[in-house]
Amino acid sequence: MQRVMLVEDDARLAALVKEYLDEYDYEVDVVTRGDRALEHFRDTQPDLVILDLTLPGVDGLVVCRQLRQLSAVPILILTAREDSFDEVSGLEQGADDYVNKPVQPRVLLARLRALQRRGSGVTSSDIVIGQLRISRENRAVYWRGEEVAMNSTEFKLFVILADASGKVMSRNAILVKMRGIEFDGLDRSIDNCISRLRRKFGDSGTERIKTVWGEGYLFSPSAWE
């Protein structure tokens, strides 16, 4: 059984979609607000996401971008908006498919199944940010389609930074996650490892893994296109 998160504020439509997909062994969780989608996703780790664009709380395009920064889960946008700009924006924010309302239930089911087949090589535990993909299961990093060689320490640190994408992480927080110890003010191993990671991606320290003086390091989500 595949778990689907349906982010839709139209209660009638959400009920119809849920009832139909339930018959085909999909377990559907309905979220009615955009500002609750990310937390629900983290709590349930669904296999697929169906996302409306016009939502209370947070716009669907913002939700799409947030989800894509967190996971490689297949995302299907289902919306009444017919502007081609919205379709392009949705795909650019990381959506895998875009369907206009109204849609026949069997068509929606076919689109979901196609997304499942297309994404069979990527799991929901993967981290996908722009053209960067980190496979936790295979302990591998792919940048613009090419695998980037990393030792176990580099991979662990890279995942820690990517998991906190968009947030500054202090040396202390990194060391606690890496080794379970606090920063003593002298240990430069994290700095040295980050320098190696930067060289692998041609980063001078001002673009992808930024130094925030006096605070720590920032994994920039907008720099991996």
Parse the chain into domains and list their residue ranges: 2-118, 127-223
pTM: 0.55
Tell me the average pLDDT of the chain.
85
Which carries the bigger pLDDT value, residue 136 or residue 84?
A: 136
Task: Return the closest-CA partner of residue 75 out of 85, 55, 61.
Answer: 61
| Model confidence pLDDT, tens digit, residues 42-57 | 899 898 999 999 899 9
**Residue 3 in this model has a pLDDT that exceeds 60:** yes
Which carries the bigger pLDDT value, residue 152 or residue 197?
A: 197
| Model confidence pLDDT, tens digit, residues 193-221 | 999 999 999 987 778 999 999 899 999 98
Residue 184: predicted pLDDT: 65
| Model confidence pLDDT, tens digit, residues 112-144 | 888 876 654 545 567 888 888 888 877 889 888
Q: Tell me, which fold does domain 2-118 have in CATH?
A: Rossmann fold (3.40.50)
Instruction: Just give the CATH number of 127-223.
Output: 1.10.10.10
